[in-house]
A and B are shown apart, each in its own frame.
Chain A
Amino acid sequence: MSASITAPARSAGRLVFAAFVLLALLVWPLLVENVFYQRVGALVMLAALSASAWNLVGGYAGQISIGHVLFFGCGAYASLLGFTWFEWPPIMGAPFGIALSLLLAVLVGLPTLRLKGHYFSMATIALAELARIIVVNSPSLGGGVGISGPAIPRSMADLSFISPLPYYYIFGAVLAVLLLFTWWMGRARMGFYLRAIRGQERAARSLGVPAQRYKLYALLVSAGFTSLAGSLYAAMVGFVDPDSGLGILLSVKMVIVSALGGAGTLFGPLVGAAILVPLEEFTNAAFGGDGTGITYVVYGAIIMLISRYAPGGLAEILARLKAWGARHAR
């Protein structure tokens, strides 16, 4: 690279690169015959979707929620309850899950978004745990046993496919919509406000940023998409119980995926998911059968190493590489 590259050329290069990545994302599952890899691909998209949704609140606005599973659970349960009660195709429950999530986001957001730092995180954990315990104790919601979707697919609308490919593209499409919104938001006023709030909330307020209101907006969008992710998950797996739909580990996973890739960046959660999910699945495939727990020793150690050498997530490494490249270009 030489310093003579002009700005338009650089942005054209970027476009070509982006188009290439997009094409690769669209085409690779068709080239891979291995169904297990295709399924891992679908799970990457799903994890990227829920982490990107979390990223709006946790990354851009800097409000570390560890209770986002609340919204995920709304979506998952709405899907399968729609089937259990009315024999709907699971995905028909999604709008209801989203509506419930938005309502909860307002109810939950108004009191908790006042809280600072760790207090906010702990309040979100408490709310999600409350929801989990209430579901466990409600036989009409499946209680501790959980609820399942259609055992045998009745029509296409049940979204019950033998191949993981349709899931990959459905999850990917929703993710694309979310990323487009995030990209737009990053350049719109809302993005500036959220970043200001993340940096110095008190200063932002004194400059007239309506902090509460914009944090709530971010939470609403985030809750809606997280809920949709939950509905899609439920349609694919066909079963949800309090642990898999409302367990605290799911909230933590959203945080981990975003933090690993780079919270508050557009593609951070996708990058995080693209690394973490295959890592999880492949360590499990390689070592899980031993029963020695080595799966998690390897998985945990890699997470630890990444946080040790790139505390800002992989986005930080990219930025460092870029800076290094720029220095050497001159």
Chain B
Amino acid sequence: MILGQVVLNGFLVGAVYALFSSGLTLIWGMMNVVNFAHGDFVMIAMYVAFVVFTALHLGPAVFVPLAAVLLFLLGVLVYFSLVRHVMRGPMLAQILGTFGLALVLRYATLWVFSANFVSLPDNLLGPVVTVAGLRLEPSRVVAGLAALTLTIGLHLLLTRTALGSRLLAVAEDRNAAMLVGIRPDPMQALAWGIGAACTGVAGALIALFFYISPTVGESLALIAFVVVCLGGFGSVPGALVAGLLIGVIESLSAFWIGPANKDVVVFILFLAVLWFRPQGLLGKA
């Protein structure tokens, strides 16, 4: 029974990882732009949820969409003010620029909200339910469903719509896309907006069960990068699979060989996958 609960918890954490990574999949995985500020986007969304809840006493039905909209705007703003120019330079410039952005976002938040940890009330979506002896937190189940929805949505957007093909064309070759009449800037900006909106949804939902502080994104960002890379560049479903896989493996290894070593297992698995499949789990060769 305990083992079943361990695996279930692993899936739910994995879903959080997938959710956390969903915006990064689009921006880094598909559009090929490194975003070191990804974790801080999520952190901002968590504060949006916190402010809406504590100041306006409104629940997730309001703050999740609101976070998505605000983060969409932030994404577009970041694209036009920073990323567009940085993309003229080598990949290193993206690291440089988004690293600077991450610090600005993180510490501007600290300035406004102080460094203290805050959180939303426990069980905002209702108490724990027991199904077949397994305990389920509604907030985590919602997060899992959201991860699934966002992944499917992104995948469909990119593979089934004209907009998706245009986005991918720009990511593939900016100049060639221009030759066939696609203006790259609005496309890239849209990709940043959609990617950031995904992180907005993710952050607002994660705020339901996680603590909130200006540095929270920093500690979660690394796993998002591993998730996207393990899943493989160019694959949206890859990140979902990788997220779930990492969640379950972490949970099992934490239970069996101790939580201090769970990331050893994850990183070794990650390196092993790269050894055998240098393009990640579902990435294109």
Interface residues, chain A, CB within 8 Å of chain B?
Answer: 58, 64, 111-112, 114-119, 122-123, 125-127, 129-130, 133-134, 136-137, 248, 252, 255-256, 258-260, 263, 291-297, 299-313, 316
Contacts A64-B91, A308-B86 known; A303 to B226 CB distance under 8 Å? no
Inter-chain contacts of A130 with B (CB < 8 A): 264, 267-268, 271
Q: Is the CB of A129 within 8 A of B96?
A: no
Are the C-beta atoms of A292 and B92 separated by less than 8 Å?
Answer: no
Chain A residues with Cβ below 8 Å from B104 are 296-297, 300-301, 304
Of the candidate stretches B160-168, B169-177, B275-283, the one touching chain A is: B275-283
**Hey, which chain A residues are within 8 Å of B264, CB to CB?**
130, 133-134, 137
Which one of B89, B99, B225, B260 lies within 8 Å of A125 (CB-CB)? Answer: B225
Instruction: Report yes or no: B107 in contact with A129, Cβ–Cβ below 8 A.
Output: no
B125 proximity list for chain A (CB < 8 A) = none
The smallest C-beta distance from A259 to any residue of chain B, in angstroms, reads 4
Would you give the 0/1 interface string for B227-251, flagging 1 where the beta carbon is closer than 8 Å to chain A?
0010001000000000000000000
A127 neighbours in B (Cβ, 8 Å):
267, 271
Distance, CA A310 to CA B106, complexed state (A): 23
Cβ–Cβ < 8 Å partners of A123 in chain B? 270-271, 274
Q: Contacts A297-B108, A304-B100 given: A118-B222 contact, CB under 8 Å? A: no
Q: How far is the CA of A308 from the CA of B34 in the complex (A)?
A: 15
Tell whether, in the assembled complex, residue B82 and residue A119 are in contact, meaning their CB atoms are under 8 Å apart.
Answer: no
Instruction: Say whether B97 contacts A304, CB under 8 Å.
Output: yes
Residue count of chain B within 8 Å CB distance of chain A: 48
B85 touches A308 (CB 8 A): yes
Within the complex, which residue of B106, B229, B271 is in contact with A118, where a contact is CB–CB below 8 Å? B229
Q: Which 10 A-B pairs have the closest CB atoms?
A: A311-B89, A300-B103, A303-B100, A293-B107, A304-B100, A307-B97, A311-B93, A293-B110, A259-B92, A296-B107
Q: Is B214 interfacial (CB-CB < 8 Å)?
A: yes
**Distance in Å: Cβ of B96 to nearest Cβ of chain A:** 4
Q: Which residues of B contact A255 (CB under 8 A)?
A: 92, 95-96
* Known pairs A114-B278, A137-B261, A294-B111; A129 contacts B222 (CB<8 A): yes
How far in angstroms is the closest Cβ of chain B from A194?
15
Across the interface, do A296 and B103 meet the contact criterion of CB distance under 8 Å?
A: yes
Q: Tell whether, in the assembled complex, residue A312 and residue B271 are in contact, meaning their CB atoms are under 8 Å apart.
A: no
| CB-CB nearest in chain B for A249 | B218
Cα separation A296 to B264 with both chains bound (whole Å) = 31
Q: Measured between alpha carbons, how far is A252 from B96 in the docked complex, in Å?
A: 9
**Interface residue from B100, B108, B222 paired with A302 (Cβ < 8 Å):** B100
DSSP class of B's interface residues: helix, strand, loop or mixed?
A: helix
Question: CB of B88 within 8 A of chain A?
Answer: yes
A-facing residues in B84-124 (Cβ within 8 Å): 85-93, 95-97, 99-104, 106-108, 110-111, 115
CB distance from B113 to the nearest CB of A (A): 10
User: What is the CA–CA distance of A126 and B81 in the complex, to the nearest angstrom?
Assistant: 32
B263: chain A residues within 8 A (beta carbon): 129, 133
Tell whether A293 pairs with B214 under 8 Å between CB atoms, given A119-B274, A302-B100. Answer: yes
Query: Contact between A303 and B99 (Cβ–Cβ < 8 Å)?
Result: yes
Enumerate 16 A-B pairs (CB-CB under 8 Å) in ascending A order: A64-B91, A117-B91, A129-B267, A133-B261, A248-B222, A252-B36, A252-B95, A259-B93, A297-B108, A300-B103, A300-B107, A304-B100, A308-B85, A311-B97, A313-B89, A313-B93
Closest to A128 in B: B267
**A252 contacts B271, C-beta separation under 8 Å:** no
Q: Once the chains bind, are B103 and A297 in contact (CB under 8 Å)? A: yes
CB-CB under 8 A from B222, the residues of chain A are 125, 129, 248
Q: B81: which A residues are within 8 A, CB to CB?
A: 308
Complex CA–CA separation, A58 to B95 (angstroms): 13
Closest-CB distance, A302 to chain B (whole angstroms) = 7
Distance of A267 from chain B, by nearest CB (Å): 16
**Given the contacts A118-B229, A126-B226, A259-B95, A300 and B267 also touching, CB distance less than 8 Å:** no
Whether B82 contacts A308 by the Cβ 8 Å rule is yes
Q: In the complex the two chains form, what is the Cα distance from A136 to B262 in whole Å?
A: 13
Residues on B with C-beta less than 8 A from A311 are 85-90, 93, 97
Query: Are the C-beta atoms of A296 and B261 separated by less than 8 Å?
Result: no
Shortest Cβ distance from A180 into chain B, in angstroms? 24
Indicate if the CB atoms of B275 and A111 lie closer than 8 Å.
Answer: yes
Q: Is the CB of A300 within 8 A of B102?
A: yes
Residue of B nearest to A144 (CB): B260
Q: List chain A residues, Cβ under 8 A from B93.
A: 259, 307, 311-313
A311 to B96 Cα, complex, angstroms: 9
Q: Are B267 and A263 in contact (CB under 8 A)?
A: no
Chain A residues with CB under 8 A of B89: 307, 310-313, 316
Min CB distance, B243 to chain A, in Å?
15
